[in-house]
Structure 1
Amino acid sequence: MSAAESTDPPVVVKVGGAKAVDPAGAIGDVARLVAEDRDVVVVHGGSTAVDETLDRLGIDPEYVESASGVTGRFTDAETMEVFEMVMAGKLNTELVASLQEADVDAVGLSGVDGGLLSGPRKSAVRVIENGKKKIRRGDHSGKPESVNAALLEGLAADGYVPVVSPPMAGQERDGGVTPVNTDADRAAAAIAGALGAELVLLTDVSGVYADPDDPETLIGSVSTPADLEALESAAEGFMGKKVMAAEEALSNGSPRVIVADANAADPIVDALAGGGTHVHANAIADGDRTDADANQADADTPTEDA
């Protein structure tokens, strides 16, 4: 991607938005990788900050349960206004400023800019309310189906580090474009796949545990379809979304996905050197995830933006 030649693939780093995640170590590592001529794209979430802002405005955040048992944010029009303000405005700007302070030429982008991330708007989701299945309409969410890789490659070639946040460009049936919420892990996965980049998903634990309550059961490497099946079974709650993102990245061209601890001393460098849970491309068997399976999962799954 950049003018400097490197034998290493680009790195896409997703920094979580939870309060327990400290981005300071990741910022230092991005600076280190850039100094070593490694191309880096940073993607961030920010659900905690969105909820805090909604609270200050007297708006109750709404989370819904899908028919498949997944809980995620329902983003109505009012919530979407706050989401745009916090994610693409406050959080993205602050992260860019922190990287600039670390001597990294960072450029902030939302998924709407230059059509960086786009896909159909999902205006209705299937949910469970009081034990009954219902259709909730008025949602502003979507899954990235197209990535403007040339935009990212051009920035990297000029020496810049893109810092990407939701929202993405939601395509309406009438041809219009509406900014919509999208899951930051899956956005990072789409970018990693499009760039053929390694993906590092930083979170507040050391990786995926075989026993979610026991850090001693960290799953270090996933390299076969059987390993992947065991990983899927072990992943609970928010970790299930990260495993889904890993599968999407690998299926679309990423050679390796790592789920690792954002609060480690050198979180990205340590992850690339072997820390965390490493999921390799050969864990994805041909035909494991059909388009029909993916579309059904998306129809049933509300969006989380952490």
Structure 2
Amino acid sequence: MSGERTDGGAAADEPPVVVKIGGAKAVDPAGAVGDVAHLAANGRPVVVVHGGSTVVDETLERLGIEPEYVESASGVTGRFTDAETMEAFAMAMAGKLNTELTAQFRSAGVDAVGLSGVDGGLLSGPRKSAVRVIEDGKRKIRRGDHSGKIESVNADLLSGLLADGYTPVVSPPMAGDEGDGEVTPVNADADRAAAAVAGALGADLVLLTDVSGVYADPDDPGTRIDAAATPDELAAVEAAAEGFMGKKVMAATEALDGGAGRVVIADANVRDPVVAALDGEGTTIKRSALGADADEGGADGDENAEVEGGETA
């Protein structure tokens, strides 16, 4: 941990915090590791969820497999995960990245426990073996996909670990229900996984990336939108979010719709990034932004957006 910190809400009577650490090379997890150690030491329960699309792509390339991305009907880009890609995905995410990040936390004094979404049925939902995509301007159906939409979180598993003083470190894949009782590990978007966990725990969600929040002008960091507390302000954030940021805002609305207290999209690479985000440094989206008449599950989003690929921060 580096230097003096503000409190950051680190108290036992505060809600849990879910920290999502992006998987791109531009995201340095060191600051988040120190902050999670700080929060845990002060009695605030923390769950970490991580991405890893860059390492997945590197693993595929080492295996001689070309990473493939597809565009959904609504314009969301995601990874197409066939059986061969799924093997590399599980190796990179649940094997290499989750183990290495858990070791980093333990080195910082955090009693971390690494889990994939398959463990204990932590993250589960139906497998999507076919996805609708746009190719050459035409709508097509691609079969053989290994992706899924998270519909259930084993909150009891997480709550039990937190109550015993452990810090879960969670990564995709998720447990994909084949419909006949069989379970298949499948790809799931890490931002949306973090959103599902935050909603299930009634937690605050911090989405760490390589920019300081959502910018009204995507090319100008000076136009960061600091907060959205009303439906109109949320609409402005959604309109401004482009590319990978659109997925994060989608995840934010899903988290709030599921029961999260607030969501902050913030820079992973600043000093004390999690504490700074909890103190308001970033784009904070509040539950009130959904409006009084927000529908249950109303932030479901695009049918193909649950694929993990396309994450750049």
TM-score by length of 1: 0.95
Matched, 1:83 2:89: yes
Deviation at 1:143, TM superposition (A): 1.6
Partners of 2:306 and 2:154 in 1: how far apart?
A: 24
**How big is each residue's C-alpha offset from its partner over 1:274-299, in whole Å with a ceiling of 9 and x where there is no partner?**
100000000012554575873xx442
Distance change in 2, residues 1:268/1:77 (3 Å): same
Equivalent pair of 1:67/1:126 in contact (CA under 8 Å): yes
**Residue number in structure 2 paired with 1:211:** 217
Partner of 1:170: 176
In the other structure, the counterpart of 1:16 is 22
**Match for 1:166: what amino acid?**
P
Cα deviation for residue 34 of structure 1 reads 0.7
Q: Indicate yes or no: 2:54 matched with 1:44.
A: no
Unaligned runs of 5+ in 1: none
Name the counterpart of 1:244.
250
- Matched to 1:26, the amino acid is A
Give runs of aligned pairs for residues 50-199 of structure 1, distance below 5 A.
Answer: 50-199=56-205
1:299 correspondence with 2:298: no
Q: Pick closer, same or farther for the CA change 1:145–1:302 going to 2, 3 Å.
A: closer
Contact 1:66 1:302 (C-alpha < 8 Å) held by counterparts: no
Rounded Cα–Cα distance in structure 2 between residues aligned with 1:212 and 1:89: 34
Q: CA RMSD in A?
A: 1.5
1:49 aligned partner, one-letter code: V
SS at match of 1:279: strand
The 2-side partners of 1:22 and 1:33 are apart by: 19
Residue 29 (str. 1) matches residue 16 (str. 2): no
Distance 1:124 1:287 in 2: 33
C-alpha distance in structure 1 between counterparts of 2:137 and 2:244, whole Å: 22
- 1:250 & 1:291 partners in 2: Cα distance? 10
Kindly provide the CA deviation profile for residues 223-276 of structure 1, in whole angstroms up to 9, marking residues without a partner as x. Answer: 000001111100000000000000010011111000000001110010011100
Q: How far apart are residue 304 of structure 1 and its match?
A: 2.4
SS in 2 for 1:182: coil
Residue 300 of structure 1 and its aligned partner are, at CA, apart by 4.1
- Residue 269 of structure 1 aligns to which amino acid in structure 2? V
Q: How far apart, CA to CA, are the structure 2 residues paired with 1:300 and 1:53?
A: 23
SS at match of 1:83: helix
Contact 1:192–1:198 (Cα < 8 Å) also in 2? yes
TM-score by length of structure 2 reads 0.93
User: 1:38–1:302: structure 2 CA closer, same or farther, 3 Å change rule?
Assistant: closer
Q: Which amino acid aligns with 1:169?
A: A
Letter in 2 for 1:123: S
The 3 A distance-change label for structure 1 pair 43 and 293 is closer
- Pick closer, same or farther for the CA change 1:163–1:302 going to 2, 3 Å: closer
Matching residue's letter, 2:94: A
For residues 255-270 of structure 1, what are the structure 2 equivalents within 5 Å? 255-270=261-276
Return the match for 1:222 from 223, 228, 249. 228
Give 1:301 deviation, angstroms. 3.3
Aligned length, in residue pairs: 301
Deviation per CA, 1:44-82: give whole Å up to 9, x if none: 000000000100111000001111111110000000000
Q: Secondary structure at the match of 1:121?
A: strand
> Which deviations, in whole Å up to 9, do the C-alpha atoms of 1:71-111 show, x marking residues without a partner?
11000000000001110000000000000100100000000
Query: Aligned residues: percent identity?
Result: 72
SS of the equivalent of 1:122 reads strand
